[in-house]
Amino acid sequence: MGRLKGRVALITGGASGLGAATVRRFVAEGARVVIADINDAAGESLAAELGDAVCYAHADHTKRDENEAAVRLAVERFGALDILHNNAGAPFSGKFTDVDEATLRRITDINLIGPFLMSQAALPALRESRARQAGGAVILFTASLQAIMARPNFTPYTTAKHGIVGLVRGLALELAPENIRVNCICPAATDTPMLKDFLPGMAGDWDEAKERFRQTVPLGRMAEPEDTANAALFLASDEARMITGIALPVDGGTTAA
């Protein structure tokens, strides 16, 4: 253990689901973590559970001042910021013709603009810490399988997540000379409370819907939050020090089919 010993991470959307699993995994590997979220009750509860290695910041990542405050907290509480994990996002499903402008802007703001703004806020601190580890500083994004493929009736979400891949590739090249690595993880629909937003109409019964989805995955099982957390751990560690600019599927073989 200890693959992130001495590192400081900030994880947006860290109060639940994929984010909470990643917080737990990073702490288990020696990191100190700032949970940034808008769910204060869940974020504070998780921070209290995990002890002195974790603190909570209320942060809506679409608001520049709240992003800057979360970064300051990481530096003031733990002395540095080595890893930013842009994990927060929001689901959407519905027909393209039914999408109004307010919905389009909301989905784009939460899934693309917010991560962009948080990355800008964190960059000065990441530049300060990049020499602390051989693998440099790290920016991660939770994208989606919809970032590298598409399904009908998810178009605003798919558009925003495709934008994340473009952001990762462009930023990876901009920051490579500074030893700051940038990657994203593209998980398939995962067994979290948000799963129902990604399996609309597969069946009237929820257990049947999950089983039908499971049958579409070549490995024959549902992704769990820990699968994404393990991918994030690898990409954040020095084991991935030569990896930047990638979109890593965590999908049980779906994109290979």
> Which H or E element spans position 77?
helix 64-78
> Which H or E element spans position 37?
strand 32-37
What is the number of residues in the chain? 257
Q: What residue has token string 């639940």? A: 16
Three-state DSSP class for residue 212 = helix
How far apart are the C-alpha atoms of 25 and 44, rounded to whole Å? 17
How far apart are the C-alpha atoms of 123 and 83, rounded to whole Å? 10
- Tell me the CA distances in angstroms from 204 to 199, 200, 207, 209, one per residue in order: 11, 9, 9, 7
Q: Tell me the HSE value of 207 on the side-chain side, using a 13 A CA sphere.
A: 0
Q: Please say if 157 is a catalytic residue.
A: yes
How far apart are the C-alpha atoms of 164 and 140, rounded to whole Å? 10
Q: Tell me the HSE value of 197 on the side-chain side, using a 13 A CA sphere.
A: 12
Options 26, 116, 141, 157, the catalytic residue: 157
One-letter amino acid identity for 94?
Answer: G
How far apart are the C-alpha atoms of 50 and 27, rounded to whole Å? 8
One-letter amino acid identity for 211?
Answer: E
- β-strand partners of 146: none
- Catalytically active residues are 157
